Amino acid sequence: MKDITITTKFLSFDDVTELPSDVQDLMAKAVAIRKNAYAPYSNFRVGAAILLDNEEIVLGSNQENAAYPSGLCAERTAIFYTGANYPDAKILKMAISAASDTNPTLSPIPPCGACRQSIAEYEFKQNQPIEIYFMGESGAIFKSDSLKNLLPLTFDKNFL
């Protein structure tokens, strides 16, 4: 038996003013689109903004459904739209902001497991890391240089 240690590294910013200007803009778009979330069941709103290598910005918000799990998270809404409409574009950066209608969300809130796997698929597809920035409704922001920091043991096509 052997112990295996896996470490990850994130940058932490105290607030959006510390982010590079292009990421400030991307995060502002994630915060704005978060308001369009359809979240009557969880009252938890998430917005995602994706910057592509062609300079397009794709937005997504979570869309719930009474027939769980038929809804879709903001990150997957945005990334699947990207794949359908910009199949040859590379995803450079993703900004995510989450807020609850009932409780303050002041800590960085990362993508769920299903979203991590979906983002991983696009990182594999483009053979290039995706910078991921995530926050709550305000406060600190975490930056991951790659999805692999959030999901170090990824499942990909090489296992099939």
pLDDT at 63 over 90: yes
What would you measure as the largest C-alpha separation in the chain, in angstroms?
50
> pLDDT digit string (tens) for 47-62?
999 999 999 999 999 9
In a domain, 152, yes or no: no
Residue 95, annotated as binding a ligand: no
- Given the residues 75, 121, 123, 137, select the one marked as catalytic: 75
In a domain, 153, yes or no: no
Q: Which domain holds residue 25?
A: 11-147
In a domain, 51, yes or no: yes
> pLDDT digit string (tens) for 111-122?
999 999 999 999
What is the pLDDT at residue 68? 84
User: What percent of the chain clears pLDDT 70, i.e. is strictly above it?
Assistant: 100
Whether the CA torsion 66, 70, 74, 77 is positive or negative: it is negative
pLDDT at 23 over 90: yes
Question: Which DSSP category does 90 fall into?
Answer: P
**123 labelled catalytic:** no
Residues across the chain: 160
Residue 99, annotated as binding a ligand: no
In a domain, 6, yes or no: no
- Here the tokens at position 80 are 């699947």
In a domain, 69, yes or no: yes
In a domain, 154, yes or no: no
What is the pLDDT at residue 60? 98
Helix, strand, or coil here: 99? Answer: strand
CATH number at residue 139: 3.40.140.10
Residue 66, annotated as binding a ligand: yes
Number of domains in the chain: 1
Cα end-to-end span (Å), the chain? 27
In a domain, 65, yes or no: yes
> pLDDT digit string (tens) for 32-50?
999 999 999 999 999 999 9
What is the pLDDT at residue 74? 98
In a domain, 126, yes or no: yes
Residue 43, annotated as binding a ligand: no
